[in-house]
Structure 1
Amino acid sequence: MKEIAMSGTPTNSQPNFLTVDGTDIAYRHRAGKAPGIVWLGGYRSDMLGTKAEALDDWAAKTGHSFLRHDYSGHGESGGAFHDGTISRWLGESLAVFRAFSEGPQILVGSSMGAWIALRMVQELNRAGEEKRLAGLLLLAPAPDFTMELIEPELTEEHRKALAEQGFMEEPSEYSDEPYIYTRALFEDGLNNRVLTGVLDTHCPVHILQGKADPDVPYTHAMRLTEHLPADDVTLSLVSDGDHRLSRPQDIALILRTLEGLIERHR
């Protein structure tokens, strides 16, 4: 599972910071009307990527609030990437969400960000905050990716590296730097599984998934729908879409889908 940070139109705004468990988490918040939009990026992605910037432009034009942040070890946030886990990034996302958003929000989760979004739904429901959720827009969702997508493909060399040095590396076709997956990420992923039962979201869910995605097969998105209430979930397959879903036509589809979720909330 890979999510690439692709820079879109450069933003002139400087980030603000929220300290979470001793780490400075960078965020940007555009005030506006409800429902607000909350962006949750992917593994090794950041909040200045193409999709996040397109959503910010849309929010500026429509007057909706928009909140985005970088996980620790990502983008402009502090912390070491090696120390990151789903639990840690989830805690940071909840802290930013609760500190800087008000009223109903639509969570837009890309790749690993969709896993974070689904875990946020569970934690918000557990805390009696289900009314904060107006909808979920999941892009190439990769819930449980450590167990479901990466672990089955591990070689003996990978397993040895995880056991002996605590992390493994995998070459990237997008960067000179390899992807790094830690033993802690795998172990913590087990405690954050969501594909184990019914996911009661209390809000509509729309999934956009490319059928040409080389990193998250579309069958994974189809499996996710089996864990969501059938009358509240829509799955749209993009026949030639890749994992990033960042082409102009993909961005246009994302914005149309988001507007549809807003209409459903009214």
Structure 2
Amino acid sequence: MTTSPLNQPAMLTVGKGDQSRDIAILARSAGRRGQGTTLLWLGGYRSDMTGTKAAELDALAGELGIAAIRFDYSGHGISGGAFRDGTISRWLEEALAVVDHVKPKRVLLVGSSMGCWIALRLVQELKKRKKAPQLDGLVLIAPAPDFTAELIEPSLTNVQRQSLSERGYFEEHSAYSPEPNIYTRDLIEDGRKNLVMTGIIETGCPVHILQGMKDPDVPYSHALKLLEFLPADDVVLTLIRDGDHRLSRPQDIEKMRATVRSLLIND
């Protein structure tokens, strides 16, 4: 990992050969009186570590004097690699590499949308290891685990299926960017290998879910379905009646901050 000036991202090389890509990381060190927990932000599809929620989480860590980690998946933000090469397995590999490099003793994972899927897979992979950071909690914002199989594949049009077959991807209008969303055949096929809502998900820690009821991208019924696979954990679901998918309004940010604080206080 290369060194960088204060508040400038450092670069971590992940993968070898033609799979090598540089992942940009912003890491905040804990203050002298900070707790041992490190906040780890896992962003959504096509989002980056400078987004509102990611920045607010980092600011909260600064106020509390604890460590925080943000990073851009390959093909996102200022990280290397092509977006169209991205898959859940590839982005999970990068999340694991970041954890392995920073080596936090304890972590609280905060994921948004697709980042919640990465977070749940990260938990599964860390639980396989003899030496792994203690998981202090999960905060899942507008969670979209298994979205390729649960939300995309069932609604594919004939035109989109043909595009996937012939071009290896299809495009879809984005409400958040002038550029269309791109979903590749590799992403969808790899998604089937990373499904988490197929059996009991054992996190071994408190789980707090924040979900908007006016989310046009991930319906709140998806969050309710996720609850069915988390029966063994201390799970709290907060439905925000007028909340959208981003949940980036001041009142939404305050809910995120309060949720993270509650997990730290109960630690």
TM-score by length of 2: 0.93
The alignment status of 1:105 with 2:107, answered yes or no, reads yes
Hey, what's the Cα distance between the residues in 2 that align with 1:248 and 1:210?
Answer: 14
In the alignment of these two chains, the number of paired residues is 254
Alignment of 1:241-252 (within 5 A): 241-252=243-254
Hey, what's the Cα distance between the residues in 2 that align with 1:111 and 1:68?
Answer: 15
SS of residue in 2 equivalent to 1:108: strand
Runs of 5+ consecutive residues of structure 2 not aligned to the other structure: 1-5
Q: What's the counterpart of residue 195 of structure 1? A: 197
Q: Is the 8 A contact 1:130 1:202 kept in 2?
A: no
The one-letter amino acid paired with 1:179 is: N
Deviation of 1:130 (Å): 5.8
Hey, what's the Cα distance between the residues in 1 that align with 2:76 and 2:198?
Answer: 28
Q: What's the counterpart of residue 8 of structure 1? A: none
Q: What's the counterpart of residue 6 of structure 1? A: none
Hey, what's the Cα distance between the residues in 2 that align with 1:130 and 1:207?
Answer: 24
Hey, what's the Cα distance between the residues in 1 that align with 2:12 and 2:230?
Answer: 33
Q: What's the counterpart of residue 61 of structure 2? A: 59
Q: What's the counterpart of residue 3 of structure 2? A: none
RMSD (Å), alpha carbons = 1.2
Q: What's the counterpart of residue 13 of structure 2? A: 19
Change (3 A) 1:251 1:209: same
The one-letter amino acid paired with 2:160 is: H
Q: What's the counterpart of residue 26 of structure 2? A: 28
Which stretch shows the higher mean deviation, 167-176 or 103-112? 167-176
Q: Is the 8 A contact 2:52 2:248 kept in 1?
A: yes
Runs of 5+ consecutive residues of structure 1 not aligned to the other structure: 1-11
Bigger relative CO (Cα 8 Å, ≥ 6 apart): 1
Q: What's the counterpart of residue 114 of structure 1? A: 116
Q: What's the counterpart of residue 205 of structure 1? A: 207
Deviation digits for residues 88-128 of structure 1, max 9, x if unmatched?
00000010012114111000000000000000000000113
Q: Is the 8 A contact 1:121 1:130 kept in 2?
A: no
Q: Is the 8 A contact 1:36 1:101 kept in 2?
A: no
Q: Is the 8 A contact 1:205 1:233 kept in 2?
A: yes
TM-score by length of 1: 0.93
Q: What's the counterpart of residue 7 of structure 1? A: none
SS of residue in 1 equivalent to 2:78: coil
SS of residue in 2 equivalent to 1:96: helix
Q: What's the counterpart of residue 156 of structure 2? A: 154
Deviation of 1:174 (Å): 2.4
The one-letter amino acid paired with 1:172 is: S
Q: What's the counterpart of residue 9 of structure 1? A: none
Deviation of 1:231 (Å): 4.6
SS of residue in 1 equivalent to 2:239: strand
SS of residue in 2 equivalent to 1:260: helix
Q: Is the 8 A contact 1:85 1:185 kept in 2?
A: yes
The one-letter amino acid paired with 1:175 is: S
Deviation of 1:132 (Å): 2.1
Residue 46 (structure 2) aligned to one of 38, 44, 47? 44
Hey, what's the Cα distance between the residues in 2 that align with 1:96 and 1:253?
Answer: 27
Residue 165 (structure 2) aligned to one of 163, 166, 188? 163
Change (3 A) 1:75 1:231: closer
Hey, what's the Cα distance between the residues in 1 that align with 2:266 and 2:64?
Answer: 17
Alignment of 1:80-159 (within 5 A): 80-129=82-131, 132-159=134-161
